[in-house]
Homo-oligomer: A and B are copies of this chain.
């Protein structure tokens, strides 16, 4: 079965997914929707698909699945609409910034028996998959302690921060998902510290730019997360998992695999500077996994519940920063 696809939104991430769909055997890009006519046309021209409105896509008989790549505040409504229309839905995280709204939306999805995948692309990164496989193969024994370090090259614009729900819901949320994936046990308590070190403007927006989190499970496994909005050396994405019999870690990706030696020392290039170039393969694998699940009617690899649980951890971390107390996850 070929999965006939439409993309809602022709912005940056919509283009990434359009390319991924075009390159995925078993998928066919049928339509693109975007209120910006130029953006929609660019995608339509490049991949030979039609331009339709979102409503028209919802009502199309030749569309099996959609990827929602529109602004965050439209996600929940669109998920519900397309779930009701019987389409399989891929949605970029988050479903919504409000836990209540997410729960309501997921209830609808369940009632409609719809297929929903919430995008957490890191789980599909080839290196992180190899790391997870090493754990699952028993190469490090039982997982005990995890260290996640994620540093952005620079803060997003103030406008984006305002609408983002703050660093925990926008940036750390990826780490919360990775933590849940690798701990393989739900988090019991969250402790966090956060501050503003890079730009006072972020403080004025009521957000943070530098933070550390400790997640602890009921059995005592621990995971730390360290985030900052500013790393001069590029987009820093590291995972290290310590187990009873060993440890496994994933390296960063650089601009080139070269090293220059001179009187100043041995220098390798900075890291890739942008999440889209860093996670090119992850985005492609993510869409391929969605297509595979749709085509075979198998469970989605990342679900609405994964989106919800990561959001709940973000809320808990924020509360821990504000109170100084460890916050229990019920």
Contacts and interface: CB of A to CB of B under 8 A. Distances in A.
Contacts of A251: 257-259
Contacts of A210: 144-145, 220, 222
A206 interface: no
A258 B127 contact: yes
> What is the interface residue range for chain A against chain B?
35 or more
A141 B231 CA distance: 12
A222 B189 CA distance: 20
B269 A267 contact: no
A191 interface: yes
Chain copies in the assembly? 4
A122 interface: no
A32 B250 CA distance: 41
A113 interface: no
Contacts of A197: 142, 144-145, 220-221, 244
A161 interface: no
B264 A267 contact: yes
A164 interface: no
Interface in A181-236: 189, 191-193, 195-198, 210-212, 214, 216, 219-222, 224, 226, 228, 230-233
29 contacts: A139-B260, A140-B260, A141-B232, A144-B210, A145-B210, A147-B147, A191-B191, A193-B326, A195-B216, A195-B222, A197-B221, A197-B244, A214-B214, A224-B224, A230-B244, A232-B245, A232-B246, A232-B263, A233-B262, A246-B260, A247-B260, A250-B258, A254-B266, A265-B268, A265-B270, A266-B268, A266-B269, A267-B267, A325-B326
